[in-house]
Amino acid sequence: MKKRLTLLMVLVFVPLVLLITMLSAQRAFRLSLAQETQRAQVSEGLIAQELRRVLAGKEYQDTLSLTRQYQERYISQGIRLAFVHNGAPLHDFALPQESYQGLLNGQRAALLDTLSAPPVYAIGDPLTAQTTLLYLQDVSDVYALRAKLHQEALGYALLGALAVGMLALLLSHGLTRPLNQLTRAAQGLARGEGGEAPLPTKRQDEVGELARTFQGMQDAVQTREQALQEEAAQRQHLLDALAHEMRTPLCSLLGNARLLEGEKLSAAQRSQVAGDMAAEIKRLADMDQQLLKLTTLPQEELEIEEIDIKALLHRSAARFAARFPHNPLLVDGPDVCLRGDEALLSLLADNLLHNALRASGLGQSVILQAIENGFSVIDEGHGMDAGQLRRATEPFYKGDVSRATGGTGLGLSLCRQIATLHGGALSLQSTPMQGTTVTVSLHPGGYFVTPPRLSSNQEVNKP
C-alpha cells in the first residue's frame, strides 16, 4: 500500500510539473530563436544594401577583392559572410549542406541549419545578377539556453517527485506499521536465516502482497541461477567445440612429423609435408587469435569516432585484391559516415569479405555496398540453405562451403559480436548456388551524416 500510494502520487504529480515546465521552456526557446533570427535579418539587410551599392558594375577581380574585405571587416564583429559567384563559392567556402542550394534561387531566402555544429541561421540574398551573399549567424547560444531550460525542468520534476514521495511515505507509514515484523521475517528468510514456511499468497490485503513479493524474489533467484547454468553450458559447449576443432590439425601435424622422421621421402615430398604442417600451424594460430578476440571483445572499450563507411570498404577491398585477382571487388552505395570503432568495423568487413571470396568461384564478383546505417557484402557463390543460415553465426560451425574451406568457423560469430557492441545487428540472406548477402546495420535510428563530397562507384580489381 505504501508503494502504491507513493507511485500513484508521483505518476500523477511529476508528469504534470514536467509538462508545464517543458512547455514553458519550449516557449522561451521559440521566443529567443525568433528574436535572434529577426536581429540577423535586420543586420543582413543593412549589409546587403551597402554591398549592392559597392559591387554595382564591378568586374570579377574587383568583386573578389571587395568581398574579401567585407568578410574580414565583419568577422571581427562576430558576423560570418560568404559569397557565391555564378554558382561557385568564393574564398575557399563550401556549402555545409545540400539544402543551402535553396538559398541561391535569385531571391532572398533563409533557413535554420540544425545539422551543422554549431547550428546556423543562414540568409541568402542576391547582390547582383552573378553574386549572392550568404549571411551565417551562429545560434548555438539559443540551443544552449533550451538545454539549460530542459535541465531545470527535469530538476523541478525530480524535486517534486522527492517531495511527493516523502509525503506519501509519511501518510502510509501508519497504515503499514503492522507489516514491518512480517517484512523483516521475509527478509531474513531471503538471506537463508529462517526456515521454510507457507506463504499467504491468496490474501488480497497488504500481507498477501508482501507474500507475493517474497515469492517473486524466489522466482528471480531461480531465474538467475538458471541463467548462470545456461552460461556455463555455453562455455562448456565452446570448449568442447574448440577441442574438437583442434584435434584435426594436431593429428595432421603429428602424422606429418612422423613422416619427416623417416628417410624414404624425397626433397620435394619433404617440402610438401613441411608446407602442409605450416598451413596447419597457421590455422591453429588463426583459431587462437579469433577465439581470443571473441572471448575478450565484450570487455573491450570502443574507441568511437566518425568513420567514412565507403572509404573503409575500399580499404578492405584493397587488402584482398591481390590475394583474389580473379574475383572482381566492387564498392557501391552512397557516401555515408557513421560513428563507431574503426578497427573493429574494419575487422568485421574483412571477415565478411574473406567469407564471400572463399564462397565464390573464379570470375564471380563480390560487392561491398554502403547503406544508410551500415553496409552489406554480396557474393554470387555457393550460398546456404535455411538450416545452415540458422546456425551460421554459431562458433566453429562450418555447414556451408565458404566456411569449410580453411576457415576457423569463428568469423561470423566475431562479426555478430562486433555489430552487437555497436548497438546494431548482423543479418544474412542466402539461396543455395545463388549467393549470400550479409548486412551489418549499425545505430538503428541513430546518428549518421553524408560527407560533402561526391564519389562514383568504383571497381577495385578485374579478372
Q: How many CA atoms lie within 13 A of 86 on its CB side?
A: 4
The pLDDT, as a whole number, for residue 391 is: 75
The pLDDT, as a whole number, for residue 239 is: 54
The pLDDT, as a whole number, for residue 404 is: 43
Specify the length of the chain in residues.
Answer: 463
E strands, 206-356, in order: 304-308, 329-332, 337-341
Domain boundary residue among 250, 272, 297? 297
The pLDDT, as a whole number, for residue 369 is: 94
Is 397 part of any domain?
A: yes
What pTM, to 2 d.p., does this model score?
Answer: 0.40
SS3 285: helix
274 and 390 belong to one structural domain:
no
Instruction: Quote the CA–CA distance of 330 and 319 in Å, as a whole number.
Output: 13
Is 128 part of any domain?
A: yes
Is 335 part of any domain?
A: yes
263 and 323 belong to one structural domain:
no
Is 164 part of any domain?
A: no
Read off the C-alpha cell for 174: 501508519
Q: What is the CATH number of the domain that holds 57?
A: 3.30.450
The pLDDT, as a whole number, for residue 186 is: 56
Read off the C-alpha cell for 277: 604442417
pLDDT along the chain (463 residues), means of 10: 68 76 83 88 89 87 88 83 88 84 88 87 89 89 85 79 74 56 53 53 69 66 67 57 55 71 73 73 60 57 86 91 90 91 85 88 93 92 84 64 48 79 87 91 52 40 40
Q: Check whether the bond before 118 is cis (ω within 30° of 0).
A: yes
What is each CA distance from 282 to 258, 287, 407, in whole angstroms? Answer: 19, 8, 11
Give the number of other Cβ atoms within 10 Å of residue 64's Cβ.
15
Cβ neighbours for 414, distance < 8 A, ≥ 6 positions apart:
290, 293, 294, 297, 347, 348, 351
* Strand order from edge to edge, sheet including 448-449: 304-308, 337-341, 448-449
Contact 186, 214 (CB under 8 A): yes
The pLDDT, as a whole number, for residue 195 is: 45
Number of domains in the chain: 3
Instruction: Quote the CA–CA distance of 420 and 415 in Å, as a whole number.
Output: 9
Instruction: Quote the CA–CA distance of 227 and 179 in Å, as a whole number.
Output: 33
Is 161 part of any domain?
A: no
Identify the helix (H) or strand (E) that includes residue 35: helix 2-55
Instruction: Identify the burial level of 96 via C-beta atoms within 10 angstroms of its C-beta, where 0-12 means exposed, 13-18 middle and 19 or more buried.
Output: middle
Is 184 part of any domain?
A: no
Instruction: Quote the CA–CA distance of 373 and 83 in Å, as a whole number.
Output: 34
The pLDDT, as a whole number, for residue 3 is: 67
Instruction: Quote the CA–CA distance of 96 and 115 in Å, as a whole number.
Output: 9
The pLDDT, as a whole number, for residue 173 is: 62
287 and 304 belong to one structural domain:
no
Is 162 part of any domain?
A: no
Contact 440, 416 (CB under 8 A): no
343 and 370 belong to one structural domain:
yes
326 and 452 belong to one structural domain:
yes
User: pLDDT by residue (tens digit) across 215-260?
Assistant: 666 666 566 667 667 656 655 555 555 554 555 566 666 776 777 7
Is 71 part of any domain?
A: yes
Q: What is the CATH number of the domain that holds 257?
A: 1.10.287
253 and 402 belong to one structural domain:
no
Residue type, 182: L
Range of the domain at 207: 201-297
The pLDDT, as a whole number, for residue 452 is: 35
